[in-house]
Amino acid sequence: MKTLIKNGTVVNATGTATADVLVDGETIAAVLAPGSTLLGFDLEANVDTVIDAAGKYVIPGGIDAHTHMELPFGGTAASDTFETGTRAAAWGGTTTIVDFAVQRYGERVQDGLAAWHEKAAGNCAIDYGFHQIIGGVDKDALAAMDGLVDEGITSFKLFMAYPGVFYSDDAQILRAMQKSADLGLLTMMHAENGPAIDVLVEQLVAEGKTDPYFHGVARAWQMEEEATHRAIMIANLTGAPLYIVHVSAKQAVAQIAAARDQGQNVFGETCPQYLYLSLEDQLGASSDEWGGFEGAKWVCSTPLRSREEGHQHHMWRSLRTNDIQMVSTDHCPFCMKGQKELGLGDFSKIPNGIGGVEHRMDLIYQGVVTGELTLERWVEVTSTTPARMFGMYGKKGVIQPGADADLVVYDPNGHTSIGVGKTHHMNMDHSAWEGFEIDGHVDTVLSRGRVIVDETGYVGRKGDGAFVKRGLSQYLI
């Protein structure tokens, strides 16, 4: 199967050019000047499919390196399966996800990983890899980490939050980071001071402050800054490469930037919700005092931050200056009905998470429209850097001969409405992004050479996606 995407504006992290992209089977065969022949062959006459991308961008497929399909959490489970979640991702121009396999205290790491393979295999619309959550750092878990690289799992996540669930104390973090330094595994950190937050939660609930808004009050920025600093210091001591997930506080960005300025291998990811949404939005979610329960749709951790304090503005700036290197979604959807509702009358029982895997490419493209990011930086923070960070670059994250033909034709003159009601494809009964009007539209999506989204909608099949065995992070020396 040969496909020619002709006359598009090809955008890589390194630059933009008008070019034709020739796809042969699952890979990109050539990137050529428009209308070129190849060894005398008229390309258009010799391919199976021609896609005219004149006036449109051709970009490497999005890579969302932080998703939680089917995650058991908060007394329920994330509502997207690998099937529904990866299909929604495809609709939005994301062609690879990296999800989190889970090991809990007392469980074997190998079993946790096997369970995630079982959930995903044969069900995904797009390619997928795994990070490993180590929720119980003990002797066996530390020993099991030795085998992860061979499995293509080159990053693992620890939590400084959620005592009694995924939490690691400083001693456990130290031991796991020593492994990380030895093996070249990237340590991913959920950096919030969980034990201190739990005291604040208890006090707020005892005072009758039970609305979703107080979730963000309890998870104060000081708790994020402190944990980020502590993680950086333990990483500094051990030599572990460190990646802070879902950074939302400008003070946490400052900690990351300072460590990077000192030459430490520390990286940071933010998410669309921390660029666009705020604590004030949650407060104004309805006319009820404190915004009422409507604000539950924005309960996630780290929480939304105050716009008055300027976190969102600072986060865009950090993306521009490379103090923050990439954008993932932390896609962790829960329906209002039957799931978020578990926290009616007590915000601490609202399952934490926002669904967004479908909207990341569009939402970050708005940064190009508003002048926050260049076109190339859009591609870099949503595709190229995730590929490099998580050992997939060359195959993913770039339009070049030999790369997987994961490609998106994006129409800058198109429009995408995230309306009230179900205009999205995630398995949720609401959207955190309701009311957002997007300048731009995902027209066509190819996953390893196959068109899976076209003008008629999703045309792929369950099971198209394959497991990606990842190499070590390409940012490590």
Instruction: Using CB under 5 A, list all residues that contact Zn ion.
Output: 190, 330
Residue whose entry in the numeric block shows the structure tokens 């799931």: 339
Q: Closer to ligand DUC at the Cβ: 149 or 335? A: 335
Helix (H, G, I), strand (E, B), or coil: what is residue 200? helix
Number of CB atoms found within 10 A of residue 174's CB: 16
Q: Closer to Zn ion at the Cβ: 135 or 367? A: 135
Query: Looking at beta carbons, which residue is closest to Zn ion?
Result: 190
Q: Give the per-residue SS3 of 328-364.
A: CCCECCCCCCCCHHHHCCCHHHCCCCECCCCCHHHHH
Q: By CB under 6 A, is residue 300 in contact with ligand DUC?
A: yes
CB 269 within 8 A of CB 66: yes
Number of CB atoms found within 10 A of residue 33's CB: 9
Residue 391 has which token pair?
Answer: 């050992």
Q: Closer to ligand DUC at the Cβ: 244 or 332? A: 332
Q: By CB under 6 A, is residue 175 in contact with ligand DUC?
A: no
Q: Could you say which of ligand DUC, Zn ion, none residue 352 binds, taking C-beta under 5 to 8 angstroms by partner kind?
A: ligand DUC
Q: By CB under 6 A, is residue 99 in contact with ligand DUC?
A: no
Q: By CB under 6 A, is residue 352 in contact with ligand DUC?
A: yes
Q: Could you say which of ligand DUC, Zn ion, none residue 353 binds, taking C-beta under 5 to 8 angstroms by partner kind?
A: ligand DUC
CB 60 within 8 A of CB 384: yes
Q: Closer to ligand DUC at the Cβ: 102 or 283? A: 102
Considering the complex, what minimum distance in angstroms separates the CB of residue 282 from ligand DUC? 14
Q: By CB under 6 A, is residue 129 in contact with ligand DUC?
A: no
Considering the complex, what minimum distance in angstroms separates the CB of residue 27 from ligand DUC? 35
Q: By CB under 6 A, is residue 332 in contact with ligand DUC?
A: yes
Q: Closer to Zn ion at the Cβ: 382 or 416? A: 382
Q: Is the dihedral of CA 374, 376, 380, 382 positive or negative?
A: positive
DSSP per-residue codes, 410-473: EEEEEEEEE-SSS-S-SS-SS-TTTTEEEEEEEEEEEETTEEEEETTEE---TT---B------
Q: What are phi and psi of 241, to 5 degrees?
A: -75, 140
Q: By CB under 6 A, is residue 88 in contact with ligand DUC?
A: no
CB 243 within 8 A of CB 389: yes
Buried/exposed code over 257-273 (b: 16+ C-beta within 10 A; e: otherwise): bebbeeebbbbbbbbbb
Q: By CB under 6 A, is residue 311 in contact with ligand DUC?
A: no
Considering the complex, what minimum distance in angstroms separates the CB of residue 300 from ligand DUC? 3
Q: What are phi and psi of 418, to 5 degrees?
A: -100, 90
Q: Closer to Zn ion at the Cβ: 190 or 250? A: 190
CB 442 within 8 A of CB 361: yes
Q: Closer to Zn ion at the Cβ: 70 or 330? A: 330
Residue 440 has which token pair?
Answer: 């731009």
Q: By CB under 6 A, is residue 282 in contact with ligand DUC?
A: no
Considering the complex, what minimum distance in angstroms separates the CB of residue 425 from Zn ion? 21
Q: Closer to ligand DUC at the Cβ: 294 or 372? A: 294
In the stretch 58-87, what mask flags binding to ligand DUC with x, by CB under 6 A?
----------x----x--------------
Residue 23 has which token pair?
Answer: 């796809």
Binding-site residue total for ligand DUC (CB under 6 A)? Answer: 9
Residue count (the chain): 477
Q: By CB under 6 A, is residue 330 in contact with ligand DUC?
A: yes
Q: What are phi and psi of 72, to 5 degrees?
A: -70, 120
- Which residues would be at the binding site for ligand DUC (CB under 6 A)? 68, 73, 190, 300-301, 330, 332, 352-353
